[in-house]
Amino acid sequence: MKAITRTDFHFPGQTGKYVGKVRDVYFIGGKYIVLVASDRISAFDVVLPKGIPCKGQVLNQIASSFLDKTADIVPNWKIAEVDPMATVGILCEPFKVEMVVRGYLAGHAWREYKAGKRTLCGEVLPEGMRENEKLPHPIITPTTKAAEGHDEDISRDEIIAQGLVSAEDYARLEKYTLALFQRGQELAAERGLILMDTKYEFGKRDGKIYLMDEIHTPDSSRYIYKEGYEERLARGERQKQLSKEFVREWLMANNFQGKEGQVVPPMTDEVVAGITDRYIELYEHITGEKFVKHEDEDIEGRIEKNINKFLSA
């Protein structure tokens, strides 16, 4: 199967293009934004050298589904899913922070905790916690949005003091973040999953706040299986992951965490195929729907045709 790792479209009215770690973003006439979910994969803020077939479709379709399922909580940018790998939406001015929300001590938070930190982004963490243990209540641990390199942890007070977000807007972002996370956890529980943590991006247009980008995908969220969670926690065993964390764990096991001088381990065809299989598994468990591969010979041509069809309507 082919992996799409770059696109180079030129749409009518196109005013610019931005290439993110995973998505190619096209700006149309100051009105629309087109997000094409490529098959690139990143970890530790590094884009890995090989793409993962089907990954872009998985991300785009999961995000599209959850945008629809949370639209009653906060307006979102989506206008239409125009292709299995592309969504067209409202162009917003993004806030310069990502709202990370955590219900469990896992991932980056656990690594910081294990290193001895007991305060994360201004949030005080209890003593004596175990990896993957549920926090007393969900906490928000924002990060800056780095144009290049690593995002950095930042506290609510620092965000407001630096003028990144006004106090009024930040209060609304906090409210939306916690409500979205609660909905995400409820939807995950229906599927026998636990949504441990996730991140949201927000923007503004005409004074109105919108939820942007992806939501509750395996790239932006950490899922584990609910069944056996308590038993594994009690025994100090690894939880059964349903997120991109397995990619990070593979990289760490091969001495890569995105640090200077470290080299990405070889991504063999077997490794790539295994990651594709895990992403499809993620899709089917998270959505409860069978994944249908769109294996067109000319995937780029299909994407371009579908976007143009929407823009010309």
Residue 185 sits at φ, ψ, to 5 deg, of -65, -40
Place of tokens 């991140």: 199
Contact 88, 67 (CB under 8 A): no
Q: Which residues contact 127 (CB under 8 A, 6 or more apart)?
A: 118
Bridge partners of residue 104, in order along the sequence: 134
pLDDT confidence of residue 45: 84
pLDDT, residue 147, reads: 59
Please report the pLDDT score of residue 19 as a whole number. Answer: 94
Predicted local distance difference test score (pLDDT) of residue 177: 98
State the Cα–Cα distance between residues 174 and 206, nearest whole angstrom.
20
pLDDT at 150: 64
Domain ranges within the chain, ordered by starting residue:
94-246
pTM for the whole structure = 0.90
Mean pLDDT by groups of 10 residues along the chain of 313 residues? 93 95 94 95 90 95 97 98 97 96 96 96 96 97 77 94 97 98 97 96 97 92 94 94 82 92 93 91 91 85 96 90
Tell me how many helices (H) and strands (E) the chain has.
8, 16
Tell me which of 1.10.287.890, 3.10.180.10, 3.30.470.20, 3.40.50.720 is the CATH number of domain 94-246.
Answer: 3.30.470.20
pLDDT computed for residue 282 by the predictor: 87
Residue in 168, 105, 159, 171 with CA at minimum distance from that of residue 137? 105
